[in-house]
Amino acid sequence: MTQPATADKTAPAGLDTEFRRGLGLFDATMVVIGSMIGSGIFIVSADMGRLLGSPGWLLVAWVVTGVLTVTAALSYGELAAMMPRAGGQYVYLREAFSPLCGFLYGWTLFLVIQTGTIAAVGVAFAKFLGAVWPEISQETYLVEPFRVGGNYYLSLSTAQLVGVILIGLLTLTNVFGLQYGKWIQNVFTTAKTGALFVLIVACLLFGWQASTVEVNFHHFWTPRDYEDVEAGVNVTTAFGLLVALCVVQTGSLFSSDAWNNITFAAGEVKEPRRTIPRALALGTATVIALYLLTNVGYLASLPFYAIQQAPEDRVGTAALEAISSGRFGSQVMAAAIMISTFGCVNGLILAGARAYYAMARDGLFFRAAGRLNAAAVPAWGLVLQGVWAALLVLPRTAQRPDLGPAAAGTLGMLGSPGGNAPLLAVTSYAAATQVKYGNLYGDLLDYVISAALIFYILTIVGIFLLRRTRPDAERPYRAFGYPVVPALYVAGAGLILVMLFVFRPATTWPGLVIVLLGLPVYFLWQRRGARSV
């Protein structure tokens, strides 16, 4: 499966020579756009609207997301041009700070960030497939949920099975070579970008409602039906508004994330010192413009309360249903999101394995992940990533209603794993209490959003450090607006991070624990590497 790396004698110094450079500017930009656009833009505006309470502040929140994302991408361009190596952000953190810092990022990337996102987007594909094929559902089980400890279960629903099959299919396709993954990425990213553009046009031209626009835009800043961030903290005060704007970034920033994935595949980009900074700028600017216009389209076609109260938060579906006055809209939106999520999963799979490749070459990951196959791709890195992402699809979390001590005790005995028929008991327990099952990867992603933001901040800080420690290094591209623009990103992202730790502690502090669990793993890899020398 593996072959020795072949050096490219014509490659400029400082570049990876073992890969085949098959990604041009268009391809690289498609990786950026395709990895960013998943299903979030069609969903997260509902929860954001509930916390912000007005159309004006909803758009402001998306503008903040856009400024942060594009600013970070423009700043990363300097690092990408300076160190255009496979592994991208892992390499930047390793060189700016230490191998430990780079490893903790790579560890979190493999454990949750990349694989958890692949799992989440894969199941999102399956859920929307269920809109046109009802047999595909999170509640239609091939293996009923069975408890493995506490509130954690394992199950295999038809939706989970589709998610696993999708991950396996796209992993296999990418194992065959970069050209296959690139072709899928270009086709599906072009299709979903077009679909998002069509949604915008449909909302603005065919969904435009004078009465809706009157209410939404003439009462642009007026709070209505808002939710408290926590007791007594809401958008009616300046401080509460600031907190809400920071907290809702978990939705919009996550929907705009993964733009950095092209840096992982720098070893396969043609003229990477020029191409990657341009792809980052073009890709992020395109997506943010589309996201802002999409939200304007929502506000032109739906009353604000309809955005806040969209069934299952599916704002995009609600907008198309309002335009088409029927089920046709939901089916069209389901097809559009399936295209979007398919391309997103492919981009994440393609790029992620290159980061593990760089870690393995440093002796900080499984050795097999640091070898290329006959198609010049890190096949074992792709396989390991695919297997772990597929496994993350299976664990479920249970949310039970509060039934009171007596009822809970009775039903607890019914669901006891010590009974004669534990699977039947668990099924009966779920039916009796109407247990709702979540997905473990969803919780893990909630936990690591703050950790991912920490690594983004550290990477931007790395620009300042490397300017001091390596002043003579070749920098074909320099960070836009340095030092002001990168510093503003650090300040803005830092403020959001502080607010998340204060007002969302249940989903932020566990993220640090996940990162810190990598410390003993790092030293184990180091010892293993030392023994093999």
What is the distance between the alpha carbons of residues 4 and 18, in angstroms, rounded to a whole number?
Answer: 9
Full residue range of the structural domain in which residue 515 is found? 17-133+160-400+436-532
Which helix (H) or strand (E) element contains residue 248? none
Name the strand (E) or helix (H) holding 310. Answer: none
Residue type for position 482? Y
- Is residue 497 included in any domain, yes or no? yes
Residue 428 within any structural domain of the chain: no
Report DSSP state, residue 211.
Answer: H
Which residues in 272-297 are b (16+ Cβ under 10 Å) and which e?
A: bbebbbbbbbbbbbbbbebbbbbbbb
User: Bridge-partner residues for 353, per DSSP?
Assistant: none
Which residue, 133, 23, 39, is CA-closest to 345? 39
In a domain, 417, yes or no: no
Whether 490 maps to a domain, the answer reads yes
Residue 431 lies in a domain: no
At 483, which CATH number?
Answer: 1.20.1740.10
Q: Does residue 426 belong to any structural domain of this protein?
A: no
In a domain, 297, yes or no: yes
Q: Residue 397 forms beta bridges with which residues?
A: 152, 438
Contact between 126 and 160 under an 8 Å Cβ cutoff? The reply is yes
User: In total, how many domains does the chain have?
Assistant: 1
Instruction: Determine contact, residues 75/489, Cβ cutoff 8 Å.
Output: yes
**Cα–chain-centroid distance for residue 82?**
26
| Distance (Å, whole) CA 250 – CA 453 | 10
Residue 200 included in any domain: yes
Q: pLDDT tens, position by position, for the chain (533 residues)?
A: 444 343 333 344 456 678 899 999 999 999 999 999 988 899 999 999 999 999 999 999 999 999 999 999 999 999 999 999 999 999 999 999 999 999 999 999 999 999 999 999 999 999 999 888 889 998 999 999 999 988 899 999 999 999 999 999 999 999 999 999 999 999 999 999 999 999 999 999 988 988 899 999 988 999 988 999 998 899 999 999 999 999 999 999 989 999 999 999 999 999 999 999 999 999 999 999 999 999 999 999 999 999 999 988 989 999 998 888 766 777 888 899 999 999 999 999 999 999 999 999 999 999 999 999 999 999 999 999 999 999 999 999 987 655 444 444 333 333 334 444 444 444 444 444 467 888 888 888 888 888 999 999 999 999 999 999 999 999 999 999 999 999 999 999 999 999 999 999 988 999 899 999 999 999 998 887 655 54
pLDDT of residue 2: 42
